[in-house]
């Protein structure tokens, strides 16, 4: 086993991503938030990719921190319970981004490299079905 999700479970996880994206977009619209702000900040979590310049282990860590729902839900909670609109807006956009990435198959990363995700192998290694990331 290579640590990736396959078959029906993989499609369920992608459908969860679609569900999150739709819910985030509906909530954003219902709250009447600024779509220009949404467009401006939608790709901000992808800046975590810069961690890969420090190596695959650091890159996977920074990417996973920015693409886990933990931080997004914390922003939502702060925004909702402490009534800080900026955090609520950030949390919704962040959830939408993660959902969108999951639809595309960009899952949480393993330290073996950017292409090794919990949703499967992506990129150049996806073509080589017998390739398994080295375990450490």
DSSP string, 21-42: HHHHHHHHHHTT--HHHHHHHT
Alpha-carbon radius of gyration of the chain: 16
Q: pLDDT, tens digit, for every residue of 65-124?
A: 999 999 999 999 999 999 999 999 999 999 999 999 999 988 899 998 888 888 878 776
Distances (CA, A) of 127 to 56, 59, 62, 75, 114: 20, 23, 26, 38, 15
**What pTM value is reported for the model?**
0.87
pLDDT > 70? residue 61: yes
d(CA 87, CA 82): 9
């Amino acid at each position: 086993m290579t640590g990736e999700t396959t078959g029906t479970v993989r499609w369920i996880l992608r459908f969860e991503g679609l569900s999150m994206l739709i819910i985030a977009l509906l909530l954003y619209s219902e709250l009447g938030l600024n779509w220009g702000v949404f467009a401006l900040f939608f790709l901000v979590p992808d800046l975590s990719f810069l961690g890969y310049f420090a190596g695959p282990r650091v890159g996977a860590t920074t990417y996973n921190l920015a693409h886990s729902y933990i931080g997004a839900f914390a922003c939502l909670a702060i925004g909702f319970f402490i009534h800080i609109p900026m955090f609520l807006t950030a949390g919704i956009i962040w959830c939408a981004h993660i959902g969108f990435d999951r639809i595309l198959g960009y899952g949480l990363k393993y330290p073996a490299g950017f292409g090794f995700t919990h949703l499967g192998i992506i990129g150049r290694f996806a073509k080589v079905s017998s390739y398994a990331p080295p375990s450490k």
